[in-house]
Structure 1
Amino acid sequence: MDDQRRAYLCGGLAVLVWSTVATAFKIALRTLDPLQLLLLADAVSILALLAVLAARGRLGLLRAMSRREKLLCCGLGLLNPFLYYVVLFQAYALLPAQEAQPLNYTWAVTLSLLAVPLLGQRLRPRDLAAILVSYAGVVVISCRGDLTGLRFSNPQGVALALGSTLLWALYWIGNTRLKADPVAALLLNFLAAFPCILAATLAFSALPPLGWAGLLAGAYVGLFEMGLTFVLWLSAMRLAARTPSGTARVANLIFLSPFLSLVFIHFLLGEAIRALTLAGLVCIIAGNALQQTGKQTK
């Protein structure tokens, strides 16, 4: 199997798994609160990433990182996974999955907006058009069709879902300052966040119940949302980079994820997918695609 086919295989598997996580969040939140879910998921992610580095013989990368990079990774761990997932899981607790999931996909346009003051970048006309199209989709989904009165169905849930995109964008802007191995850096993020998550859980919640449902839910989220799927996607991008235009083609697979996710949400959660959800999601993905196409063309 050549590199491009292996890249498509790894990328396709990553997209398929990520398409299940919105459903997994809702199922997990039936037995766990957001902090309990995050505590379990973070612990599982740490073990998974340690296993990946050990299997590749790359644990030494942790020691090889400079003190500055280690401190930056620890600081970024407060953004992701700590604050980001606390906010995101709370959004999922308040909103139907078919609303929380598309709103979270606006992080790319949020990143464009933050890159202006934080990275000194300029917004092109294409970027502005992408932002307008994406946030039009946000309004359609959040108002559930009441576009004249602009009444949000759950203002707190919508604010949290959009707030999570702000935290995610800040995290990735912070990562632009890192030159360390991304898997090793991610492991440090999760290690640094664990004491904070544990302290918050003990202060505002309680330790997760020792039931199979909660433990399996936390393990699934930790493995397939936070840990191993990231490694799989990273492998796909590295393989794709070896062929002309391969990275762009594999990266476009990610646009399939939110639509596949609605299939799982409908059949596993039993949510009736509204036509307006699809319309809003199309706007959000169209905005993301418009923005990405412009970058690839440039």
Structure 2
Amino acid sequence: MVVAPFGNPLNLSNRDTLAGCAALALWAFLAPLARLALPLPPLLLTALGFAAGGLLGLIVVAARGRLALLRQPPLAWLHGVGGLAGFHALYFAALALAPPVEANLLNYTWPLLIVLLSAPLRGLPLGPRRLLGVALGAAGAALLLAGGARFPAEALAGFACAIAAAFTWALYSVLAGRLARVPTEAVAGFCLASAALTFVAHLAWESAAMPGPRQWLAVLLLGLGPMGAAFFLWDIGMKRGDPRLLGTLGYATPVASTLLLIALGEGAFTWQVAAATALVAGGGVLAARA
């Protein structure tokens, strides 16, 4: 067992690392819930999801009598809102300016970046076993996402946005450990501020739309899970858990999401899915045993 500079044991039994794993599990439901919310415009869906997650979080924070914890210094707000809203803005820009398969593939460099940035930004050693584990995960994600991928020059701006989104999320995640004094309750405020920013972006760039009952259900479920509880759990995992292991396990998210879509009848279980599952699982085992 390795002891981190912050005094926490870094292995899978660490409950804070398990909180981060729970966030990854919840993010696997993002794609199925986004399908349920169709045809809502993506920025509007993001704004509503942030609002639902932020409001639900605010209710919990208020019930615990900890609303005062939302008063944080400007640096904390820059980190929280910049990470949440910035990542989603860049990701949706990438999807608009580049082919979605290629944009998604480049965006999923964020788990690798989290692992690599953990050394210079958090002072955490890597080692060959961890690097091999994240390499296997990256190979699995590439096998799953890169079928028929092409990178035309005219989509260069979109590819740049996808890479910027990956860097934004990786920096937001790893730097959370440097802001360990900012309580997780503050994430509720960051979600609400991100909701306001993305709603303004929706008004500027998308046509107005009114959610129906099915879309409101999707928004509520997003707020409960992938765009609500997941952000709080990820904050805990990144501040007090092992970012190297969580970064490696991040590659399980696209695989789990694909398996969920297949279970819902929106895809087929192919050899690529099976191989990607095996590679990601093997990489996760290697990283967990490092």
TM-score (norm 2): 0.70
- RMSD over aligned CA atoms reads 4.5
**Other structure's SS at 2:39 match:** coil
What residue number does 1:128 align with? Answer: 131
What residue number does 1:49 align with? Answer: 57
What residue number does 1:215 align with? Answer: 216
Report the alpha carbon displacement of residue 116 of structure 1 after superposing the two structures with TM: 4.3
**Within the alignment, does 1:62 sit opposite 2:70 as a pair?**
yes
What residue number does 1:173 align with? Answer: 174
Distance 1:124 1:176, change over 3 A: same
TM-score (norm 1): 0.68
Letter paired with 2:89: V
Q: Deviations over 1:126-168 (max 9, x none)?
A: 3432343233223322332x6xxx7579x88987766544322
Written as runs of structure 1 = structure 2, the 5 A alignment for 1:194-209 is 194-209=195-210
Report the alpha carbon displacement of residue 271 of structure 1 after superposing the two structures with TM: 1.3
What residue number does 1:80 align with? Answer: 83
Q: Deviations over 1:200-234 (max 9, x none)?
A: 11211144424223333222212211213455788
Written as runs of structure 1 = structure 2, the 5 A alignment for 1:261-276 is 261-276=257-272
User: For structure 1, which runs of at least 5 residues remain unmatched after alignment?
Assistant: 242-251
**Within the alignment, does 1:110 sit opposite 2:113 as a pair?**
yes
Report the alpha carbon displacement of residue 48 of structure 1 after superposing the two structures with TM: 0.6
User: For structure 2, which runs of at least 5 residues remain unmatched after alignment?
Assistant: 1-12, 242-247
Report the alpha carbon displacement of residue 75 of structure 1 after superposing the two structures with TM: 0.9
**Within the alignment, does 1:293 sit opposite 2:284 as a pair?**
no
**Within the alignment, does 1:191 sit opposite 2:187 as a pair?**
no
Identity over aligned residues, as a percent? 32
Distance 1:86 1:151, change over 3 A: same
Q: How many residue pairs are counted as aligned between the two chains?
A: 269
Give the distance between the partners of 1:215 and 1:39, measured in 2 at CA. Answer: 13
Contact kept? 1:262, 1:273, Cα under 8 Å:
no
**Other structure's SS at 2:258 match:** helix
Contact kept? 1:41, 1:219, Cα under 8 Å:
yes
Distance 1:255 1:116, change over 3 A: closer
Q: Deviations over 1:223-268 (max 9, x none)?
A: 211213455788999xxx9xxxxxxxxxx99897665543420132
Find 1:20's aligned residue among 29, 46, 62.
Answer: 29
Report the alpha carbon displacement of residue 175 of structure 1 after superposing the two structures with TM: 1.1
**Within the alignment, does 1:40 sit opposite 2:48 as a pair?**
yes
Letter paired with 2:226: E
Give the distance between the partners of 1:115 and 1:130, measured in 2 at CA. Answer: 15
